[in-house]
A and B are shown apart, each in its own frame.
Chain A
Amino acid sequence: MVVRTVRETPPAELTRCPVAVDGLPREGGAVIPPAWRAGIQRLAKSRGDIANQLNRLIAWSTGTPCEGS
């Protein structure tokens, strides 16, 4: 049996760290009913979870974690 380690480097685009975009405005306010607030929170949570997972995958693949992850 002959063992060879194959190093496959994914395209740079696939290992690009997720960029933190602007979220909700930091001033002012709004009237948002509970169901909408819950929806906004679910969207934010899901975005955060996906970013975390992507960061882990990038760290796994490239060996260096993204900044701030």
Chain B
Amino acid sequence: MTVAAILATLKAGRKVLTFAVVLIAAASWYVQAQLTAHRERDLLTRAEKICAATAGTTPAEPFVVARRGDWGVACLDRVADLALFRAQTVEGSLSEAVSAMEAREGKQATDAALAAAMAARTNDTLKRMEAADAAVENDRVGPGWAAAVNDLGGLR
């Protein structure tokens, strides 16, 4: 088959060839469009799930393209709110925990001081009690011994 013969054949089937080319182009465009639409649906489904998970912005009706902007903005606001809330909660909890710890440490220091003062006083009254008891003769106790007992017990 010569080149001329091939050209002649092509010329004869020009209409069919043109139709085939147009058909292929249309088919590939259609497939591309389908793929794009599929990807978009997939993305929208994910977005819906994300927004639904934030609760409160769950769309009452299925996603409507005309409302996409409004819905997206509302959802974004909600997510930002949640992020802010989380940050503030963590911060608030930390300061609350820190102040509780500080209060506790202050209390422990106060109590330690009080306990030390009490121990010193008890020690003092105990010594006086021992001295008063040692001074007792013939089991006869008097006002001094009684006063030591009263001091030991915190009595009047």
Contact A48-B133, Cβ < 8 Å, known A5-B100, A26-B143, A32-B141:
no
CB–CB B141/A29 < 8 A: yes
Give 4 A-B pairs besides A27-B143, A31-B140, A41-B129 with Cβ atoms closer than 8 angstroms. Answer: A23-B150, A55-B118, A59-B110, A60-B110
CB of B66 within 8 A of chain A?
Answer: no
Residue on A with the closest CB to B130?
Answer: A41
Which residue of the partner chain B has the closest CB to A4?
B96
Q: Contact residues of B with A, CB < 8 Å? A: 89-90, 93-94, 96-97, 99-100, 107, 110-111, 114-115, 118, 122, 125-126, 129, 133, 136, 138-143, 145-147, 149-150, 152-156
Q: Contact partner of A45 among B138, B141, B147, B153, CB < 8 A?
A: B153
B97 and chain A: residue at smallest CB distance: A3
A10 part of interface (Cβ distance < 8 Å): no
Q: Which residues of B contact A69 (CB under 8 A)?
A: 114, 118
A12 lies within 8 A of chain B by Cβ: no
